[in-house]
């Protein structure tokens, strides 16, 4: 059988650390209404950490762009894979805002970020197809699902899938939710292999709910009317999003396991989008509840949100890269380990991939 197997991973974690107390100078507003008294900011920040577990996040430098950090993650993945980059058939770049300049916060999608990365990689092969995938936070996971179709069909042999974002550029400094967002990039190289065992991508599931949920994440003007210059920033209805995720993500994960013919007891790790620690913990509990299991194995869900924040499409590939390289204490993978890759985000979209480590 033909399977899609990870042969190399890479990530780019910005050097700039932004601690929670750096937001103490910000005046936050409650929606488009009254401001929160600055004297309450320490309480606001303490409460924020209690809920999300985010203590700091990473931001890019002013001269760095999403396509550039995506390229750096891709270089590491290709080095890890040890292949000729000209042998790539596809480059898929998952993101949602394109390249956004530090001093001109407009989304730049043309040419595609994938094309920019292909150029920076120096790939001349015209049959290496490069395109972008905007799919909310689940974009990178959806990218590997698309790559899997190409690879298993025989249309392609190798695909590079990148996820990158600079959310610091589209965050409203007068919105408390801005403390969630961060920057980063992750990448993986997938190769089609004829195998006898069930390895690589075994199964997947995806759903999109738009009728009632399309605008739980949306773009709007600053909450500070005096700051409003027409720039659009990322906004979300946090409580509704939280409820949607808890209600629907566990079922998508179970559907992917059912399609693989596996039980939750077969899973070694759950790589879940790093959105909010409290939400991720609740989702994991709901997944286990579906299987009528109360005791969750310690260390089954690696977490980076406390020090990396939420970098959207970059969270899952960054997690995988850190664990694959042995850079997360207490987490490692060996051949035959079954893992879940799952995400939820704007759209609203949810996806889950069952992967067996090769």
pLDDT digit string, tens, across residues 60-99: 999 999 999 999 999 999 999 999 999 999 999 999 999 9
pLDDT reported for residue 105: 84
pLDDT reported for residue 195: 87
Residues 6+ apart with CB under 8 A from 91: 74, 114, 117, 118, 121, 123, 128, 129, 130, 131, 159, 160, 162
Helix (H, G, I), strand (E, B) or coil at 32: coil
Q: Which domains does the chain have, with CATH numbers?
A: 2-194 (3.40.47.10), 200-356 (3.40.47.10)
User: 177 near 327, Cβ under 8 Å?
Assistant: no
Strands (E) located in the chain: 2-12, 16-19, 56-59, 90-94, 99-101, 104-108, 129-133, 158-166, 183-194, 200-208, 217-220, 233-236, 267-272, 338-345, 349-356
Residue 143 dihedral angles phi and psi, to the nearest 5°: -60, -40
pLDDT reported for residue 55: 95
| Under-70 pLDDT residues of the chain | 35-41, 228
User: 35 near 80, Cβ under 8 Å?
Assistant: no
Rounded CA-CA distance 79/114 in Å is 18
Rounded CA-CA distance 153/274 in Å is 32
Within the chain, how many helices (H) and strands (E) appear?
8, 15
pLDDT digit string, tens, across residues 225-240: 887 688 999 999 999 9
User: 136 near 345, Cβ under 8 Å?
Assistant: yes
Q: What is the pTM of this model?
A: 0.95
Tokens of 296: 């969750």
Rounded CA-CA distance 119/96 in Å is 20
pLDDT reported for residue 24: 87
Q: Calculate the alpha carbon distances from 127 to 157, 158, 159 in Å.
A: 12, 12, 12
pLDDT reported for residue 100: 96
């Amino acid at each position: 059988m033909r399977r899609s197997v990870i042969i190399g991973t890479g990530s780019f974690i910005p050097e700039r650390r932004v601690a929670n107390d750096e937001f103490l100078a910000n005046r936050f507003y409650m929606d488009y209404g009254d401001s929160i008294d600055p004297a309450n900011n320490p309480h606001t920040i303490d409460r924020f950490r209690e809920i999300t577990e985010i203590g700091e996040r990473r931001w890019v430098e002013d001269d760095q762009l999403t396509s550039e950090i995506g390229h750096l993650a891709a270089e590491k993945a290709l080095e890890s894979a040890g292949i000729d980059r000209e042998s790539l058939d596809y480059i898929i770049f998952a993101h949602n805002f394109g390249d956004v300049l530090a001093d001109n916060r407009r989304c730049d999608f043309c040419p595609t970020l994938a094309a920019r990365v292909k150029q920076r990689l120096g790939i001349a092969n015209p049959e290496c197809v490069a395109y972008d995938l905007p799919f909310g936070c689940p974009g990178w996971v959806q990218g590997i699902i698309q790559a899997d179709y190409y690879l298993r069909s025989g249309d392609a042999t190798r695909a590079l899938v990148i996820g990158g974002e600079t959310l610091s550029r589209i965050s409203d400094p007068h919105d408390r939710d801005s403390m969630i967002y961060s920057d980063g990039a992750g990448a993986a190289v997938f190769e089609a292999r004829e195998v006898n065992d069930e390895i690589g991508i075994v199964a997947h599931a995806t759903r999109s709910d738009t009728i009632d949920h399309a605008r739980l994440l949306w773009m709007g003007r600053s909450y500070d009317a005096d700051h409003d210059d027409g720039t659009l920033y990322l906004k979300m209805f946090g409580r509704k999003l939280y409820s949607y995720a808890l209600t629907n993500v566990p079922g998508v994960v179970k559907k992917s396991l059912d399609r693989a013919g596996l039980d939750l007891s077969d899973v070694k790790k759950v790589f879940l989008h790093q959105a909010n620690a409290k939400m991720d913990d609740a989702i994991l509990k709901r997944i286990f509840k579906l299987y009528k299991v109360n005791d969750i194995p310690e260390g089954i869900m690696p977490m980076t949100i406390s020090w990396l924040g939420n970098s959207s499409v970059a969270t899952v590939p960054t997690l995988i890269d850190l664990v694959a390289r042995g850079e997360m204490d207490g987490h490692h993978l060996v051949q035959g380990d079954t893992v879940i890759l799952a995400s939820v985000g704007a759209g609203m979209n949810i996806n889950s991939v069952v992967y067996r480590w090769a």
